[in-house]
Structure 1
């Protein structure tokens, strides 16, 4: 029985450059590829865990994973060719023809692939950054070889082609730091004490624990409006998302409204005064 099995496994399927290719060598290919895939995943997981334990930047971790994965795939590919007794020189012509055809038919894919490596290496956009692209705001969750995954502020995921992030204008709110400037604009009734309004707005802003002391908040008397005296307070916070700024601005408005009511400062509302020249004539039928 063993002789029959041995004879079957050593049966020559084809000969390539006088090198026989047996059934056992063909069957060894999927086993080798499966083992290689498992071993690559094991290495990637081990390296990632060590880098995470050292609190390495997520972008560096992703770049390391990419380099290891592509290098390992190249080694597995070359080894598979060697197991099949296929010389690399013979494969070079075929691979060149495939590369030319693939290049003409997949220009966008190649463009996005190269753009992905530029994003990972140059780091104009990193994992965790808060972006604004064509009016859409969200946090970068993953930078892949073809596209970048962004989680929008409403929870929806977007897949943005990498080339689009390099070719178009992208607002990165957290590129260098997480400092974000916010403003609260308000109009008070004519006749109000301007110095008192300034003081109350400044105190309400400083009272918020999220507002930074440096740079300090500042209140400006912006304009004499049609129906109100316009004041605006500027402040800085540390936040990685747009919602953080909206939350702090809302809290400051609540505080300003409360202090204005306590000090009898009236918040203006649109109004129109109508002046009539002459007497009104009322006709009775």
Structure 2
């Protein structure tokens, strides 16, 4: 975008010309005598006409330059220009048109009234022939004055016709769709129809994805799982916070609206894809299926499906890398020992610095890992990580008994399963060799977390990485192996 015009440098040349020609016109009689004495009366008359015509054209030139300065003057961020470009073009045409009639009337001594009458008839004929184009032009002027949308805004003129405003000219508005194609919309159509501006009044707007689940799934649990997916989906704004509502209850199940905010309409398709994918992932981890179409007539009412209590627990345990070396019967033993905890949003699952001897597996919901560094004010802990379904935290306290290195707070309503040291102790006593594998896996996990913190610029918040032999010694000492 070119820099704003300097008023003094932009207006000085036409102003000098106007002053010079005005002075020459005021002394026309004196100049006529001098030119007539040298070149004759014909040349003097022609020189007088040329000075008069040039004076009016110079005045029109100066007027158009004043419009340029007004249109291109700097404005505060977010404020529209004083005069839209399209209106400025119309005013510039009127200025030169007025100068033309002034030349005809005052310089050439032509009957302007008759010319205006003839021009009126001609304009009426042309106006009838070009009525649609003229309507588009005046609609463009109205759009530039009211400014319901601007260059760069995302608008939807009709269902399926949406794009980013690329140009607003005399006759039409050009949109660039998300597919990269151009849509040309006459200004008359845009001004005379209802359209949606996704970029006003703010840059963000809310969208929704409908999800249908069986009525057998408790509403509170369905909302918890869907909300955790929204919080974890890429592209969803954290503020305003997403939410989940029950839209309707139908024959096929309960329809939920997973509502979220998007920063830019151009990212809507990608954001919907991320939301839908994350919802399917979280539903799968929770063992919840989408509703299937139901038959209108049933011979008998089927019994509600019930989940085997240990199935989800075994699944959560088996997917943890930490217990990859454990046998199936050992996994079953630990799964049966898990303690189920429901954490309302805002509940502190573990607090930094407190003693602990258990780990937690996230089954539903989202939890934030926060760490308070030295010198940081109370309640100003930094967000270190985000725990999602299938993630585990507190393993260092379980294996070594060290205090909690960070606080974990429920971002949404959550369900976690707790595994205590007393549950793991019998397994390690039967198979002490598992301690070595646990120490190696913990060292690898700490190393990966440290590299991730460095990539995110939060290396100072991550706990120090311990060597495998140090972890093994601490583990054996804690379990007295």
TM beyond 0.5: yes
Contact 1:222 1:232 in 2 (8 A): no
Is 1:261 aligned to residue 261 of structure 2?
A: no
Corresponding residue number in structure 2 for 1:223: 249
| Alignment partners' CA distance in 1, 2:84 and 2:275 | 39
- From 201, 215, 220, the counterpart of 1:195: 220
Distance 1:134 1:191, change over 3 A: closer
| Alignment partners' CA distance in 1, 2:136 and 2:149 | 15
Secondary structure (helix, strand or coil) at the match of 2:144 reads: helix
**Alignment deviations for residues 186-232 of structure 1 (CA, whole Å, 9 cap, x no partner):** 23467545433220111221334633544652332743543x55433
Contact 2:167 2:173 in 1 (8 A): yes
- From 136, 140, 143, the counterpart of 1:119: 143
| Alignment partners' CA distance in 2, 1:37 and 1:158 | 37
Trace 1:66-81 onto structure 2 (pairs within 5 A): 66=89, 68-78=91-101, 80-81=103-104
Aligned length: 258
- From 234, 246, 251, the counterpart of 2:259: 234
Is 1:169 aligned to residue 190 of structure 2?
A: no
Q: CA deviation at 1:270?
A: 5.5
Q: Which has the larger radius of gyration?
A: 2
TM-score by length of 1: 0.66
Distance 1:202 1:112, change over 3 A: same
Contact 1:59 1:127 in 2 (8 A): no
**Alignment deviations for residues 6-25 of structure 1 (CA, whole Å, 9 cap, x no partner):** 979x579xxxxxxx7x5996
Contact 2:226 2:244 in 1 (8 A): no
Secondary structure (helix, strand or coil) at the match of 1:51 reads: coil
Corresponding residue number in structure 2 for 1:283: none
Q: CA deviation at 1:139?
A: 2.4
TM-score by length of 2: 0.43
| Alignment partners' CA distance in 2, 1:71 and 1:194 | 67
Is 1:100 aligned to residue 124 of structure 2?
A: yes
Q: Identify which range, 167-176 or 101-110, moves more after superposition.
A: 167-176
Q: Identify which range, 146-155 or 70-79, moves more after superposition.
A: 70-79
| Alignment partners' CA distance in 1, 2:97 and 2:211 | 63
Distance 1:182 1:264, change over 3 A: same
Trace 1:1-285 onto structure 2 (pairs within 5 A): 22=46, 46-51=69-74, 56-57=79-80, 60-62=83-85, 65-66=88-89, 68-78=91-101, 80-81=103-104, 84-135=108-159, 136-188=161-213, 191-208=216-233, 210-211=236-237, 213-214=239-240, 216-220=242-246, 222-226=248-252, 229-239=254-264, 241=265, 243-268=266-291
Q: Identify which range, 65-74 or 194-203, moves more after superposition.
A: 65-74
Distance 1:79 1:56, change over 3 A: farther
Distance 1:77 1:156, change over 3 A: farther
**Alignment deviations for residues 97-143 of structure 1 (CA, whole Å, 9 cap, x no partner):** 32232233322233223322222223344444433223311223333
Point out which structure has higher relative CO (alpha carbons under 8 A, 6+ apart).
Answer: 1
Distance 1:59 1:23, change over 3 A: closer
Secondary structure (helix, strand or coil) at the match of 1:220 reads: strand
Secondary structure (helix, strand or coil) at the match of 2:289 reads: coil
**Alignment deviations for residues 15-38 of structure 1 (CA, whole Å, 9 cap, x no partner):** xxxxx7x59968x989x97x8998
Contact 1:58 1:127 in 2 (8 A): no
Q: CA deviation at 1:94?
A: 2.5
Contact 2:246 2:254 in 1 (8 A): no
Contact 1:223 1:231 in 2 (8 A): no
Corresponding residue number in structure 2 for 1:15: none
Distance 1:149 1:87, change over 3 A: farther
Distance 1:168 1:43, change over 3 A: same
| Alignment partners' CA distance in 1, 2:61 and 2:72 | 17
Contact 2:140 2:170 in 1 (8 A): yes
Alignment RMSD: 4.3
Runs of 5+ in structure 2 lacking a partner? 1-37, 300-481
